Structure formats: C-alpha cells, structure tokens
Structure 1
Amino acid sequence: MSLSRASRAALLTAVVAAGALTLSACGGGGGKSGGGGDTNFVTDTGGISTVAKGERTAPGKLAGETLAGTALDIADLKGKVVVMNVWGSWCPPCRAEAPHFAKVAKESKAKGVEFVGINTRDPNKGPALAFEKDYEVEYPSLYDPAGKLVTHGFPKGSLNPQAIPSTIVLDREGKIAARSLKALGESELRKIIDPLIAEK
C-alpha cells in the first residue's frame, strides 16, 4: 500500500524534527566536523574537535532544573573548566563511559574543573537517577527530556552535540573549546581537559 503525498510529507517532517540527535544517537562519532559553514575548529581522527583560544564562541543559555530538582545555570560556572556530558540512561555507550567521568570529575575538581551532565530523552527521572546511583555520578545533571537545551543551547556553526553521548568542554571564559561525539575513556577525557586546565 503506497502512502499519499500528504502522508509522505508528514512522515518526512516527523523524521526531520527528530533528526538532530537521533541520526547518530548512541553511536560512535566519526571524524567529521559539524555545524556546517565556515567553522574554525579542527577534528582529529578520533572524533574529538577543538577550537583555538581566540576562535571560541560562547554557548547559548544552558540553565534549568537538575535531576535532583535544583536550579542550575552553566553561566554561573564561569572561571572554571566545565565538562558537559549529554547522556541518557537507555544508552549503552553512556553506561560505558560513566565510570570514567565519575572518576575524572572527582580527581579534577580541585584543579578548577566542574562536570555537569545533560540528561536527555529519559521521559521520567527514575531511570536517570538510578543510573547516577549505579555509576556513582556525584555531579549534577540538567534534566532535558525533550532535548531543548541540547538543540537550542549551542549556536549554529559551533561545536554542538550531535549524538548521544556527546561531551562539550567550556574554557574558563565560558566558551566552547572542545567536543567529542563518542563515548570517552579516562585517558581521552584527560587529554581534552588537561590543556584547558593549563591555559592562562
């Protein structure tokens, strides 16, 4: 049975609307840069992109309620290196990287690094809270079930999250310095944040 033109158009619209995160959700990132247009970032073969200090841009507003029910605004963390990890409790690569993030978050806090999760596409908080408990994730996570923060919090042409998991790192000035579109191990995570800790 063939679809009518109106039905095909409606289906296409639905697919496009779901597209930004679902195209590569829970997949490993490739070595391609995102954002389109004339960008100033470099992607290495491991799917980690970085931006030179003078070329960085600030994200949009990234604020809301955490899984624990408290208010959190990323802008309040300016002056620290901020590691934002986009994750979902349903995502196997997110589970694989969670112990590494929990460990590095504890060990780097004294060096001026703050970790913040952005929990997305979990329709209720229960599984996400269980995930945090299971993996001993002590840092807060913004609750973003519909993906609004992820979709609207990053300017076009910047290093933005395009998969789950994604990790975005802000420098001490609150500007986007690095992005990974894949699950990260401890050494890869440190490789991203250590140069930003050392920046003056």
Structure 2
Amino acid sequence: MSACGDGGASEGGGQPNFIAGTDGVSTAPKGERRPTAELAGETLQGRKLNVADFRGKVVVMNVWGSWCPPCRAEAPTFAKVAKDTESQGVAFVGIDTRDTSRTPALAFEKAYDIEYPSLYDPTGKLILDGFPKGTLNPQTIPSTVILDREGKMAARALRPPTEDSLLKMIDPLIAEN
C-alpha cells in the first residue's frame, strides 16, 4: 500500500469483477460483490468495534492518517456527508493507519469534527488482512471502500472524493433492496 497515493491504476491480484472508472472510483455489480474479511479492533478511543455489527446499513470506510495532506483535505467532506446520510441508514467508519500514536489521530478527529469511530491500525495489518487481493481493496492512503447492506464491497475511491462523488457512490446503495 502506498502512502498518500494519488489513486494509481493497479487493481491488485486476481480477476477483478468490478468496473474501474476514470475518476478513481471502481464499482462492483450487486451479484459480483465480495465480502471483506473480519474488520474488527479497537477504536482510537479504546472501544471495541466490529464492522460486521453495522450489517443492514451502508458502510463508508475511509482509510486515513493524520500525517496525510489529502486525508486532511477530504476530512470535512466525510464529516458533513456522515452527518447528512446517517438518517438514511449509512454508517461511517474510519481506519487510521500509520499513526504511531493515537494523540495526533485524536487531534485530527477533533479538528475536523469527525464524530464517527475510527479503528486504530498503526501497522496497516487490519487493512492488509481485512480486504482480500483482487477486490475493491484500499491501495492508497487515503482510500474509501463502501460496503452494501450485506457487508460486501460495492465501491472504492482511490482519490479524495468530493461531496458529489461520494454521494454518487452512496446513493445507489441506499436505494438497493
């Protein structure tokens, strides 16, 4: 995984069953989506969190680090869209990576008014183990992976999304039965 990447073209190993867009967004059709492995651990606040507990909701997972300039640039968008879509059955979960201490990550969340939980993954192990190769796995920092209501990977952005592009990934999943 590259640090603070720009959304390169590599899609990982295996035979991907998704469509890579020219805007850094890839999507998987409903019948071809794959689940993540277990994504569970401790949040920045020290609470236990398992992403599987959000099954039944659309889950927006953002991989970030407090040290990453594009992560700082996209943070206000995530904070706003998280608040705006919560009542529609959307949950946001961050994965803070490569912060060797929780202190800068907690300061990041406070500075950008991030109210949703973030799993603490200083070594990147959760990211590497949680998203199988050849899927819509995060490959850069920042990356965003959106899970459908069944916990399957439906969309991924390898670039910081705008509010509009983030909603274009979320809205179809909200509408799915």
1:108 corresponding residue in structure 2: 85
Residue 50 of structure 2 is aligned with which of 63, 73, 81?
73
Matches within 5 A, 1:5-154: 21-22=1-2, 25-30=3-8, 32=9, 34-154=11-131
Q: 1:46 is paired with a residue of what secondary structure?
A: coil
Q: 1:116 is paired with a residue of what secondary structure?
A: strand
Distance in 1 (CA, whole Å) between partners of 2:111 and 2:16 is 39
Range with greater deviation from structure 2 (84-93 or 183-192): 183-192
Amino acid at match of 1:193: I
1:54-75: CA deviations, max 9, x gaps? 0001000100000011000001
In structure 2, stretches of 5+ residues that fail to align are none
1:70-126: CA deviations, max 9, x gaps? 000001100000000000000000000000000000010000000000000000000
Amino acid at match of 1:84: M
Given that 1:165 and 1:183 are in contact with CA atoms closer than 8 Å, whether structure 2 keeps it comes out as yes
Measured on the aligned residues, the alpha-carbon RMSD in Å equals 0.8
Distance in 2 (CA, whole Å) between partners of 1:196 and 1:115 is 14
Q: 1:187 is paired with a residue of what secondary structure?
A: helix
1:160 corresponding residue in structure 2: 137
Distance in 2 (CA, whole Å) between partners of 1:134 and 1:192 is 26
Structure number, greater radius of gyration: 1
Higher RCO (C-alpha 8 Å, min separation 6)? 2
1:9 corresponding residue in structure 2: none
Q: 1:142 is paired with a residue of what secondary structure?
A: strand
Instruction: Calculate the TM-score normalised by the size of structure 2.
Output: 0.98
Q: How far did residue 157 of structure 1 move?
A: 1.3
% same residue: 66
In structure 1, stretches of 5+ residues that fail to align are 1-20
Distance in 1 (CA, whole Å) between partners of 2:159 and 2:40 is 24
Q: How far did residue 156 of structure 1 move?
A: 1.9
1:113-157: CA deviations, max 9, x gaps? 000000000000000000000000000000000001111101121
Give 4+ residue runs of structure 1 displaced > 2 Å after superposition: none
Distance in 2 (CA, whole Å) between partners of 1:69 and 1:137 is 16
Instruction: Calculate the TM-score normalised by the size of structure 1.
Output: 0.87
1:14 corresponding residue in structure 2: none
Distance in 2 (CA, whole Å) between partners of 1:37 and 1:136 is 38
